[in-house]
Amino acid sequence: MRKINIFDTTLRDGEQSAGVNLNFSEKLEIAKQLERLGMDIIEAGFPAASPGDFASVQEIAKTVKNSSVTGLSRSIQKDMDAAWEALKDGAEPRLHVFIATSPIHREYKLKMSKEQVIEAAVSSVKYASAKFPIVQWSAEDACRTELDYLAEIVEAVIQAGARVINIPDTVGYITPMEYGNIFKYLIEHVPSINKVQLSAHCHDDLGMAIANSLAAIEAGASQIEGTINGIGERAGNAALEELAVALYTRADHYKAYTNLKLNEIKRTSNLVSKLTGMIIPPNKAIVGRNAFAHESGIHQDGVLKEKTTYEIISPELVGVSSNAMVLGKHSGRHAFKTRLEELGLVVTEEEMNKLFATFKELADKKKEMTDDDLVALVLEEKLSKDQRFFELVSIQIQYGTNQVPTATVTLSGCENETIMEAGTGAGSIEALYNTLEKCMNDSVNLLDYRIQSVGAGRDALAQVFVKMRYKDIETSGRGLAQDVLEASAKAYLNAINRVIFLKDPASVLM
């Protein structure tokens, strides 16, 4: 059995998904969960991209101890210097440096000859190897690169000190057999190939990212890259949960294993979905709501007689629990704290005090508090506190079938001033959002609005996701409350606060 390293790029390639921008605490929370999942390598971001990216990569490198933390860098010294500053305190700093190698990219993007690209790649790897114990080199758009040239540049960067060679299918163009053949070609034609690990990085434009990654493993790759839930640029990256479970379930075929704790998959997937606002389709493999649901009578009958008739993966394997533990208004602080611990939710004493008060308040209105509710509450408390420039003080909405919906909103502003406005709209949400826009004194475009219940029941908590454009930045926001209108107001303000933070991260990072 070969060990396959799993390289997670949810916080870098995944964060490049349209409309996704995670803040500092959200990235940290995801990184901690990736560590718990047993990720070998976590690509925490692109440190030279912005001060916000730099700060989160630095914090993740300092915090995460059981995974190697890496950051992306172009083949230029200032990027590599920024990456070193951000990563140097990590348990095992590694640099991920890339340059495009395909004729299309050389001619139109880089305007460089083949020789110039080799020279730039070699000098960046040499420069990085003097600082970093491990350097991973990537040939962007490798799959549309001439094979003999790819072999030549790979040999050159290995000689320069690269320890991992990544062959990305940047545009999601390759087929499984072709991708496997690239790996076989490199193994046969690159003299120093035995000194390095080969890595696969696939995009899903033609829906082949998983099949391609598995083909690379069969052809000799010992690292695969991807994201949780397959989020990423355009159609996304290979979904790591699918790869890990495929390798586990078909170990007989692939003769390979990973170090991932598969029963942490569902929790990781839920966290990424919640924080990015990217909803998991119900039929998504491994983590979709229907992935283990048997609907047809024939299937149900078979499963009742013998599970393996129609079930190749058990829900428990990936952490989908049937445990219906619920807390209610009579539950005490001890039971509450114990359940949080059982769910792996680590909170400080101060957070605990606030959370227990919120829990009691909600449990008074809501019969049962499920695990999903508790996770949602803890995330809300942990993740929104560093970005509360505008805070909701109160809302009042009037709606009747024969009257114009009216909203009155009171906020506390960036300098703790009180802002009050009233407005109308064709519906309650429009009235609320028109009024909030007045409070901002600037135009705000709502691009998407989605509402979801946390768990089941009429008294379920409401979770609202919005996408908005404010001050020329497209951003997203999330709000949780018992009432849908309050959750909508919170999601709106969460998105606004994100933009304020993006415009001036220093105000929070100091």
Contact between 53 and ligand KIV per CB under 6 A: no
Give me the phi and psi of 266, to 5 degrees please: -60, -45
How far is the C-alpha of 328 from the C-alpha of 32, rounded, in Å?
A: 29
Q: Which residues pair with 70 in a beta bridge?
A: 43, 94
Task: Tell me which of ligand KIV, Zn ion, none is bound by residue 366, counting a contact when its beta carbon lies within the kind-specific cut-off of 5 to 8 angstroms.
Answer: none
Task: Tell me which of Zn ion, ligand KIV, none is bound by residue 140, counting a contact when its beta carbon lies within the kind-specific cut-off of 5 to 8 angstroms.
Answer: ligand KIV
Residue nearest to Zn ion (CB): 13
Give me the phi and psi of 306, to 5 degrees please: -160, 115
Give the nearest distance from C-beta 13 to Zn ion in angstroms: 4
Contact between 423 and ligand KIV per CB under 6 A: no
Judged by CB, which is closer to Zn ion: 202, or 462? 202
Task: Tell me which of ligand KIV, Zn ion, none is bound by residue 35, counting a contact when its beta carbon lies within the kind-specific cut-off of 5 to 8 angstroms.
Answer: none
Q: How far apart are the first and last CA of the chain?
A: 48
> Which region among 52-60, 164-172, 259-267, 354-362 touches ligand KIV (by CB under 6 A)?
164-172
The H helix count followed by the E strand count for the chain is: 18, 16
Judged by CB, which is closer to ligand KIV: 53, or 140? 140
Q: Which amino acid is at 234?
A: R
Least Cα distance to 67 among 119, 29, 31 occurs for 31
Judged by CB, which is closer to ligand KIV: 166, or 270? 166
Q: Site for ligand KIV (CB under 6 A): how many residues?
A: 9
Give me the phi and psi of 471, to 5 degrees please: 50, 45
Tokens found for residue 255: 């003769």
How far is the C-alpha of 322 from the C-alpha of 425, rounded, in Å?
A: 43
Contact between 294 and 303 (Cβ < 8 Å): yes
In the list 94, 105, 201, 284, the residue contacting ligand KIV (rule: CB under 6 A) is 201
Contact between 170 and ligand KIV per CB under 6 A: yes
Grouping H, G, I as helix, E, B as strand and the rest as coil, residue 441 is coil
Binding site for Zn ion (CB under 5 A): 13
Site string for ligand KIV, 85-124 (x = CB under 6 A): -------------x--------------------------
Q: Which residues pair with 138 in a beta bridge?
A: 98, 166
Contact between 68 and 94 (Cβ < 8 Å): yes
Contact between 468 and 475 (Cβ < 8 Å): yes
Judged by CB, which is closer to ligand KIV: 198, or 432? 198
Contact between 138 and ligand KIV per CB under 6 A: yes
Give the nearest distance from C-beta 437 to ligand KIV in angstroms: 37
Task: Tell me which of Zn ion, ligand KIV, none is bound by residue 59, counting a contact when its beta carbon lies within the kind-specific cut-off of 5 to 8 angstroms.
Answer: none
Q: Where do we find the tokens 């493993």?
A: 217
Give the nearest distance from C-beta 228 to Zn ion in angstroms: 14
How far is the C-alpha of 357 from the C-alpha of 489, rounded, in Å?
A: 22
Judged by CB, which is closer to ligand KIV: 13, or 26? 13
SS (H, E, C) 71-102: EEEECCHHHHHHHHHHHCCCCCCEEEEEEECC
How far is the C-alpha of 57 from the C-alpha of 94, rounded, in Å?
A: 12
> Which region among 105-113, 166-174, 279-287, 500-508 touches ligand KIV (by CB under 6 A)?
166-174
Judged by CB, which is closer to ligand KIV: 237, or 270? 237
> Which region among 107-115, 144-152, 163-171, 256-264 touches ligand KIV (by CB under 6 A)?
163-171
In the list 168, 226, 277, 319, the residue contacting ligand KIV (rule: CB under 6 A) is 168
Give contact residues for ligand KIV (rule: CB under 6 A).
13, 98, 138, 140, 166, 168, 170, 201, 203
